[in-house]
A and B are shown apart, each in its own frame.
Chain A
Amino acid sequence: MGRILIVDDTMFMRTLLKNILFSGGHDIVGEAADGAEALARYQELKPDLVTMDVVMPKVNGIEALKAIKAADPAAKVIMCTAVGQEQMVKLAVKSGARGYIVKPFQAPKVLEEVKSVLSA
């Protein structure tokens, strides 16, 4: 079970994800609503895993991912994405994302991915 930071610009999505992760026994240690906040929260909380939305205002998920990876190359980041964003996800994977989950979230898939990335 891991300590997780959720990054998404909508509270709706954060809540949804929080409930799923919570049901899987994980600890939600923090939330961030954009990429800039994500980096700050990451450094402050040192979570085991980050779920990162791709499309966000100001600093988007890819840039935030890069910033987090630059600060901590061992960081485990999972991208939250949607059908149609394949290119962005590929970019994210090339930038060091460890996994991805697809909206609309399916709890078992989300938990499986989180577990697999945490244990890697």
Chain B
Amino acid sequence: MFDEEGYRKLFVEESRENHENIVSNLLALESGDDQQTAIDEIFRSAHTLKGMSASMGFDAMEHLCHSMEDIFSLIRSGQREVTASLTDLLLTCTDTIEEMLDTIEAGGTPSDEQSGGLVQELRVFTEDAPGEAPVEAIPFEAAGTADGRPLYSLSVAVDPSSTMKDVRAMLLLQNLESIGTILSTTPSREAIEDGKFDGLFEVLIESEAGEDALRTVASGTEISLLALTAASSPAVLPVETREVRPHEAVQEPRVTKAEKNREIKNIRVDIERLDRMMNLVEDLVINRGRLEQIAKKHGIKEFDEALSMVGRSVSDLQNLMMGVRMMPLERIFNRLPRVVRDVANHDGKEVELVIEGGETELDRGMMDGLSDPLLHLIRNGVNHGIETPEIREACGKPRKGSLRLTARRDKDNVVIEIEDDGAGIDPERLRTKGIEKGLMTPDAAATATKDELINLLFEPGFSTAETITDISGRGVGLDVVKKTIESLKGTIKVDSSMGVGTKFELVLPPTMAIIDVMMVHINSMRCAIPISNVVEVAQTRPEAVHRIGTSETILLRDQILPMHRLEDMFGRAQKSDTLVVLQNNGRRCCIVVDTVDGQQEVVVKPLSRLAGNCRGISGITIPGDGDVVPVLDVNTMI
């Protein structure tokens, strides 16, 4: 046999892709758009999975995929309808496939016990098929050739240096279509458009434009025509149809020379290695700062020049590393349609999830942290936001609720919005609930603004749903969501109108590792404040400071701001006429500092777990002189 371990990895990787394809197309099938494509896709993926698992000797998985494939061949030929119960069963199958893949990835072999019952259940669906035997008839696409228009077969290669081979191929196919009718392509057109080809493909086209015209069109940018032959009869056609025939030999050795020689353009790198590289880059940044300070002391021209070259390289390296760590949000968005479906089905709701901006990128370190809050907000939207179809109709809304998840880059931030068109949040109910839960005194509640009431949602132990459901109420509240987002240096805002819907807005920095800070001295100790939180630096006179109860406030440009001296952290500031005005989430306060030293780009390192959770400090940074400087966590201060 072959080197099994090597194959196993590849097997798991590609199987997961196919698995995902099945899930997303099952959901697409249910939502009703472009049924045929979805069915074809599921069939294709189930078929591929079957073939691959058979080659690896994972019989249990093969049987399961085989049964799924059988069902889809019936659905394709119109002998079966896709019912809700069938979709449920098929989704359960995909869950099992995922479990099997986990088993395989861990080095095991899936057992029939995992799938046995499902195969039986699937058989029920296939066996009570109406009389006729499964027909393999695949409509012969070439029927139109009867009118005798000339047929050509083109063999085309996309330049290996092309950045988007699939798009290049799509453009070519589109151009070809302007002068003829494409009968088939190998690999299939979908595969080509998805980039699942190695740069070479064949096109069978019917055209009256003549060879020369075809040659011109087929030799565009980054495209070279390898061969153009006149195909005499449609008999050569069924190149593509072969793949869709069920029960056929599983895999054909298709390793062509071109494939063997293909240059390796992408490599996979272990995330841990990337993290280690990132740490090294951070150290370089710190040490560059140190060198710069030493250089300043000595003023050697040659040294300064060399250092500035090094500095530039370090900056480039740093930017490059940040880029490498970026991942499109799709990675976490992709799991959400399934969640929406499950929750909606559970609650008897009809919900359409629209995802936009999945290509927006975020540092992978943030991605892990973002996944759970997003999941929670999405569940919440279906669970508490969108009403049942009956209520919606009664309110004059479409039966189907809509949940929009959008991501975009806004200046230096990534903005993610989750918006439903549901019932909205009732401020009055928040008011009563706030008093009930003891989060507000009745007096405070009576005068509370809508924003204050809505902010109650983020208080620990607050849940507006009358009963906690087993889906959205997992003991995690919006308070945890908020904390997680804040730990990612982001903010969360909610906006809701009764009867119209609710919108959560998350604003996140694309990366946490390197930020601009303002360096200040407080009681002769250095401290860094993220620039994004700084509004301004102001001077004040003692008479502008007022005492309200135990806290001090200051009147600055007609605004009353709470004033903090941070004595418990740094001791009392010696001079107290310099203020830094801070802002977080639209709220402001100011702190008293001795001096403002300037602005600097620094690497923020998280505090060690040993130090525990230090309130008010989000991490430490080491500027050029090697000092350890705390970074202020403005979130907890306001």
The reply to whether A90 and B166 contact each other, CB–CB distance below 8 Å, is yes
Interface flag for B361 (CB, 8 Å): yes
Evaluate contact between A86 and B221: CB separation under 8 angstroms. no
Cα–Cα, bound, A54→B493 (Å): 29
Indicate if the CB atoms of A88 and B359 lie closer than 8 Å.
yes
- Give the CA-CA distance A99 to B328 in the complex, in Å: 24
**Given A93-B167, A100-B167, do A109 and B361 touch, yes or no (CB 8 Å)?**
no
Question: Assuming A109-B221, A116-B220, is B359 touching A87 (CB within 8 A)?
Answer: yes
Would B221 and A102 count as touching, CB distance under 8 A? no
Residues of B168-206 whose CB lies within 8 A of A: 170-171, 174-175, 193, 195
Closest A residue to B219 using CB positions: A116
Contacts of B244 in A (CB 8 A): none
Q: Is the CB of A86 within 8 A of B170?
A: no
Residues from 88 to 120 in A contacting B, C-beta threshold 8 Å: 88-90, 93-94, 97-100, 102, 109, 112-113, 116, 120
**Cα of A29 to Cα of B358 in the assembled complex, Å:** 35
Known contacts A99-B221, A113-B221, A116-B221: does B361 contact A89 (CB below 8 Å)? no
Does B163 have its Cβ within 8 Å of any Cβ on chain A?
A: yes
When chains A and B are docked, how far (Å) is the Cα of A88 from the Cα of B174? 16
Residues of B close to A100: CB separation below 8 A: 164, 167, 171
Q: Which residue of A is nearest B161, CB measured?
A: A109
Which 6 pairs, one residue from A and one from B, show the smallest C-beta to C-beta distance? Answer: A102-B163, A113-B221, A89-B167, A116-B221, A93-B170, A116-B220
Interface residues of B in 345-393 (CB under 8 A from A): 358-359, 361
* Complex-state Cα separation, A97 to B193, whole angstroms: 15
B412-430 CB contacts (< 8 Å) to partner A = none
Total cross-chain contacts (CB, 8 A): 43
Chain A CB within 10 A, most for which of B163, B195, B359: B163
Residues of chain A at interface, number, CB under 8 A: 21
10 contacts between A and B (CB under 8 A): A83-B164, A84-B328, A84-B361, A87-B359, A90-B170, A94-B170, A112-B221, A116-B220, A120-B175, A120-B220
A81: nearest chain-B partner, CB-CB: B164
B170 to chain A: which residues have CB within 8 Å? 90, 93-94
Q: What 1/0 flags go to B466-500 for Cβ under 8 Å of A?
A: 00000000000000000000000000000000000
Most buried by A among B167, B195, B358, B361: B167
From A86, A109, A113, A120, give the contact of B164 (CB < 8 A): A86
State in angstroms the CA–CA spacing of A107 and B175 once bound together.
24
Per-residue interface assignment for chain B, residues 315 to 356, with 1 indicating a CB less than 8 Å from any chain A CB and 0 otherwise:
000000000000010000000000000000000000000000
| Measured CA separation A93–B247 after assembly (Å) | 36
Q: Is A85 an interface residue (CB 8 A)?
A: yes
Q: Assess the A86–B195 pair: CB atoms within 8 A.
A: yes
By a CB distance below 8 angstroms, the chain A residues around B164 are 81, 83, 86, 89, 100, 102
Report how far A3 CA is from B118 CA in the complex, Å: 63
Chain B residue with minimal CB distance to A96?
Answer: B174
**Complex contacts, A102 vs chain B, CB 8 Å:** 163-164
A93 & B163 in contact (Cβ 8 Å cutoff): no
Residue in B closest to A88 when the chains form the complex, CB atoms: B359
Closest A residue by C-beta to B217: A120
B147-170 residues with Cβ-Cβ distance < 8 A to A are 163-164, 166-167, 170
- Please, which residue of chain A has its CB at the minimum distance from the CB of B171? A93
Contacting pair B171 A99 (CB below 8 A): yes
Question: What B residues does A93 contact at CB under 8 A?
Answer: 167, 170-171, 174
Which of B164, B174, B175, B195 has the most C-beta atoms of chain A within 10 angstroms of its own C-beta?
B164
The 0/1 profile, CB within 8 Å of B marked 1, for residues 65-87 of chain A is 00000000000000001011111
Tell me which of A84, A94, A112, A116 contacts B359 (CB under 8 A).
A84
The CA of A86 and the CA of B170, in the complex, are separated in Å by: 11
With A113-B221, A116-B220 already in contact, the answer to whether A86 and B175 are too (CB < 8 A) is no
Residues in A neighbouring B361, C-beta threshold 8 A: 84
Contacts of B174 in A (CB 8 A): 93
Contacts A84-B359, A84-B361, A120-B175; is A90 near B221 (CB within 8 Å)?
no
In the complex, A37→B175 CA distance in Å?
A: 28
CB-nearest residue of chain A relative to B164? A86
Instruction: Enumerate chain A residues within 8 angstroms of B167, measured Cβ to Cβ.
Output: 86, 89-90, 93, 100
Complex Cα–Cα for A94 and B358 (A): 19
Question: Which residues of chain A are near B166, meaning CB under 8 Å?
Answer: 86, 90
- Closest-CB distance, A53 to chain B (whole angstroms): 14
Q: How far is the CA of A97 from the CA of B221 in the complex (A)?
A: 14
Report the Cα distance A87→B167, complex, angstroms: 9
The smallest C-beta distance from A45 to any residue of chain B, in angstroms, reads 25
Whole-angstrom distance from the CB of B167 to the nearest CB of chain A? 5
Question: Which residues 202-217 in B have Cβ within 8 Å of A in the complex?
Answer: 217
Interface residues of A in 11-44 (CB under 8 A from B): none
Contacts of A86 in B (CB 8 A): 164, 166-167, 195
Q: Which residue of A lies closest to B223 (CB)?
A: A116
Q: In the complex, what residue of chain A is closest to B358 when comparing beta carbons?
A: A87
Given A83-B163, A84-B328, A100-B167, A90:B193 Cβ within 8 A? yes
Bound CA–CA A100/B163 (angstroms): 10
CB neighbours (8 Å) of A116 from chain B are 220-221
From A86, A87, A97, A113, name the one whose CB has the most chain B CB atoms within 10 angstroms.
Answer: A86
Give the residues in chain B near A81, CB-CB below 8 Å.
164
Of chain B, the residue at the smallest CB distance from A120 is: B175
Given the complex, which residues of B lie within 8 Å of A89, measured CB to CB? 164, 167
Q: How far is the CA of A112 from the CA of B358 in the complex (A)?
A: 31
Q: Closest approach, in angstroms, between the C-beta of B163 and any C-beta of chain A?
A: 4
A109 and B221 alpha carbons, distance in the complex (Å): 8
